[in-house]
């Protein structure tokens, strides 16, 4: 379980710059095991920062982050990140990228096991015959599949995804959403998924945390009650009345927030 | 149904095919042949005294002679020893210094003035001082070579290390890599293409320094040979020495480029 209480974060003041608004202000929530939660919001609302705070790459200026009863002081193997820009190591083949996490001392995995696990994960993601390819030889969608395989290789309890499909073209993006749900249906992983696509958040999530900007905070938490599995007849689900209603509700919320922000800027 | 579309293409002949494929190589070869031909012609036509310019045919004759009788080998060996030692020491010292500078702001700020000043100054000027300290043996020449080559290696390594994509380091941290793993599994491979480019640039400087050092502080080596040939008005031998050095430079440079392409094939295709 992820427990966040009263997290406030502000980036270090650069000399001469005006005091910045808090990137996150007084954010509290809990995420239960096995949940799929999306952080949805416009750019600059602190949703990515919140994700990084959960991972432990960033420590918050104030507040508490507790995961499974332990205070977070840095990254831990129970959590894996998937990045928007993939962040694959360009000098490693797909297979070697997928093995990266397991090679590290903290994992202490034997070579044979690493190779087996990497291969299993790549083939789960439909990249069975692409293990020897280098990132520059792969399409964006394939690169992110490698990124997901790499994240899964360390068998994390929590999968943290930072706009993972944001850099992909819209059609590949929808396809990847379906494949992600299929992939995750087999296990009971907890997912935190950052996105600025309303449809993506509704389609994937159990709950959506809608973020507002300046200061970054949670405007509303929307539980999504749509039938599962959603990848079957996904086009029907996306056109269904409840789906459209969710979209309207969330868009109204975000539109108000954005317009308020623009008046502020004037 | 399917109307054949007329495509206007120039008629291809074998010659035009060869030209299209090897345009650069053919142009280069032609330029060299013409230049050598002109040189040969001005000497043979008596426009220039062969004592001052020699000629390609005389130079190649001399090259054949010194290789055939083996008299060139001790000189090549002597120069190669100094070049090899100097280059190796430059790498062994320069790469760690460059990495330290790229990683630590304090180290960079405190060493940069010396590195930049040494890089920009004609280090040959130190030769008399080095001879004063180390005498005329191998080591004074090796030190001069190191002074000539090490800074370009340091600077390239530093640039490679400090320009690394921060996202990759963060990725390592997210997977709980320790500092040593960040250095060897992320920073070192990411900086490798820059480091290799530094080696390639250093090779040219190594050759220059070897020759200069041998001019003044030697009784063997290609620099010594060239200097002596000049003193004896043996311009064919002088050019033979220069040709050998030029050939070594070209070969080593191409070899380094090949190594760069082999080790870092993503570099060329990564620009999207």
Q: What is the pLDDT along chain A (266 residues), one digit of tens a residue?
A: 999 999 999 887 555 555 666 889 999 999 999 999 999 998 888 999 999 999 999 999 999 999 999 999 999 999 999 999 999 999 999 999 999 999 998 988 889 999 999 999 999 898 989 999 999 999 999 999 999 999 999 999 999 999 999 989 999 999 999 999 999 988 889 999 999 999 999 999 999 999 998 888 999 999 999 998 898 888 899 999 999 999 999 999 999 888 887 776 55
Q: Tell me the percentage of chain B whose pLDDT exceeds 90.
A: 63
| Chain A contact set for B269 (CB, 8 A) | 136-137
Higher pLDDT, A19 or B171: B171
User: Which of B173, B186, B264 has the CB atom closest to A57's CB atom?
Assistant: B173
Residue A147: closest CA among A125, A178, A117: A125
pLDDT, position B9: 67
CA torsion angle for A33, A37, A43, A44 (degrees, to 10)? -40
Residue B27 covered by a domain: no
Give me the number of domains chain A comprises: 1
d(Cα A219, Cα A190) in Å, to the nearest integer?
Answer: 22
d(Cα A109, Cα A248) in Å, to the nearest integer?
Answer: 48
pLDDT, position B67: 92
Q: Domain limits at A63? A: 2-72+192-265
Residue B51 covered by a domain: no
Interface of A with B (CB under 8 A): 55, 57, 75-77, 80-81, 83, 85, 87, 89-91, 100-101, 103-106, 134-137, 154
Confidence of residue B270 (pLDDT cuts 50, 70, 90): very low
Residue B13 covered by a domain: no
User: Which of B173, B178, B270 has the CB atom closest to A136's CB atom?
Assistant: B270
Are A134 and B171 within 8 A, CB to CB? no
Are A87 and B167 within 8 A, CB to CB? yes
CB pairs under 8 A between A and B: 59
Return the CATH number at A58: 3.40.50.300
Residue A88: closest CA among A156, A27, A29, A149: A149
pLDDT, position B109: 93
Residue A146 covered by a domain: no
Confidence of residue B53 (pLDDT cuts 50, 70, 90): confident
Residue with tokens 């290799």: B196
pLDDT, position A173: 93
Q: Which ipTM score applies to this complex?
A: 0.89
Are A100 and B270 within 8 A, CB to CB? no
Give me the number of domains chain B comprises: 1
Return the CATH number at B215: 1.10.3720.10
Residue B100 covered by a domain: yes
- Could you give the angle at which helices B105-120 and B138-162 cross, rounded to 10 degrees? 130
- Could you read off the pLDDT of B138-151 as tens digits, one per residue? 899 999 999 999 99
Are A57 and B178 within 8 A, CB to CB? no
Residue B60 covered by a domain: no
Probe site for chain B from A56, A74, A90 (most B CB atoms < 10 A): A90
Residue B261 covered by a domain: yes
Q: Domain limits at B263? A: 67-269
pLDDT, position A143: 95
Mean pLDDT calculated for residue range B125-135: 87
Residue A217 covered by a domain: yes
- Specify the 3-state DSSP secondary structure of A222: strand
CB-based contact B120:B160 (threshold 8 Å) = no
Mean pLDDT calculated for residue range B75-95: 95
Which runs of E-coded beta strand occur in chain A? 2-9, 24-31, 36-40, 62-67, 70-71, 79-82, 158-162, 190-195, 207-212, 217-223
Question: For the purposes of burial, counting CB atoms within 10 Å of the CB of B28, is it exposed (0-12), middle (13-18) or buried (19 or more)?
Answer: exposed
């Amino acid at each position: 379980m992820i427990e966040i209480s009263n997290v406030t974060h502000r980036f270090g003041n650069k000399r001469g710059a005006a005091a910045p608004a808090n990137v996150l202000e007084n954010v509290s929530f809990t995420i239960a095991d096995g949940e799929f939660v999306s952080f949805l919001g416009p750019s600059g609302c602190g949703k990515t920062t919140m994700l990084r705070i959960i991972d432990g790459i960033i420590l918050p200026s104030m507040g508490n982050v507790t995961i499974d009863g332990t205070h977070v002081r840095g990254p831990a193997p129970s959590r894996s990140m998937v990045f928007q820009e993939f962040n694959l190591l360009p000098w490693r083949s797909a297979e070697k990228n997928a093995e990266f996490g397991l090679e590290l001392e903290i994992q202490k995995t034997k070579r044979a096991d690493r190779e087996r696990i990497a291969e299993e994960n790549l083939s789960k993601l439909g990249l069975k015959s692409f293990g020897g390819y280098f990132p520059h030889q792969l399409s964006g969608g394939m690169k992110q599949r490698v990124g997901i395989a790499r994240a899964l290789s360390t068998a994390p309890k929590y999968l943290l995804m930072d706009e993972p499909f944001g850099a992909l073209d819209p059609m590949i993006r929808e396809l990847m959403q379906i494949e992600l749900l299929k992939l995750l249906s087999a296990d009971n992983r907890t997912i935190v998924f950052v996105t600025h696509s309303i449809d993506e958040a509704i389609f994937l999530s159990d709950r959506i945390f809608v973020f507002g900007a300046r200061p970054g905070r949670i405007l509303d938490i929307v539980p999504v009650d749509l039938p599962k599995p959603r990848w079957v007849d996904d086009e029907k689900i996306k056109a269904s009345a409840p789906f459209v209603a969710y979209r309207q509700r969330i868009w109204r919320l975000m539109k108000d927030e954005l317009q308020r922000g623009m008046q502020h800027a004037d | 149904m399917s109307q054949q579309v007329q495509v206007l293409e120039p008629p291809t002949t074998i010659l035009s095919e060869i030209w299209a494929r090897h345009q650069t190589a053919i142009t280069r070869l032609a330029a060299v042949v013409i230049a050598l031909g002109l040189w040969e012609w001005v000497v043979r036509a008596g426009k220039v005294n062969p004592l001052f310019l020699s000629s390609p045919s005389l130079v190649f004759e001399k090259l054949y002679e010194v290789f055939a009788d083996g008299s060139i080998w001790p000189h090549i060996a002597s120069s190669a020893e100094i070049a090899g030692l100097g280059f190796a020491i430059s790498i062994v010292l320069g790469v760690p210094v460059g990495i330290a500078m790229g990683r630590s702001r304090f180290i960079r700020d405190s060493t940069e003035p010396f590195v930049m000043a040494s890089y920009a100054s004609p280090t040959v000027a130190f030769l008399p001082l080095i001879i004063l300290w180390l005498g005329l043996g191998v080591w004074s020449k090796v030190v001069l070579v190191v002074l000539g080559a090490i800074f370009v290696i340091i600077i390239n390594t530093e640039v490679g290390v400090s320009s690394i994509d921060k996202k990759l380091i963060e990725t390592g941290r997210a997977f709980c890599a320790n500092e040593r793993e960040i250095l060897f599994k992320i920073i070192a491979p990411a900086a490798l293409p820059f480091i290799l480019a530094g080696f390639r640039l250093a090779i040219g400087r190594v050759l220059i320094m070897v020759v200069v050092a041998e001019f003044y502080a030697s009784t063997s080596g290609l620099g010594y040979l060239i200097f002596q040939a000049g003193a004896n008005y043996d311009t064919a031998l002088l050019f033979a020495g220069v040709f050998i050095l030029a050939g070594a430079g070209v070969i080593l440079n191409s070899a380094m480029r090949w190594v760069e392409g082999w080790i870092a094939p993503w570099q060329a295709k990564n620009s999207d």
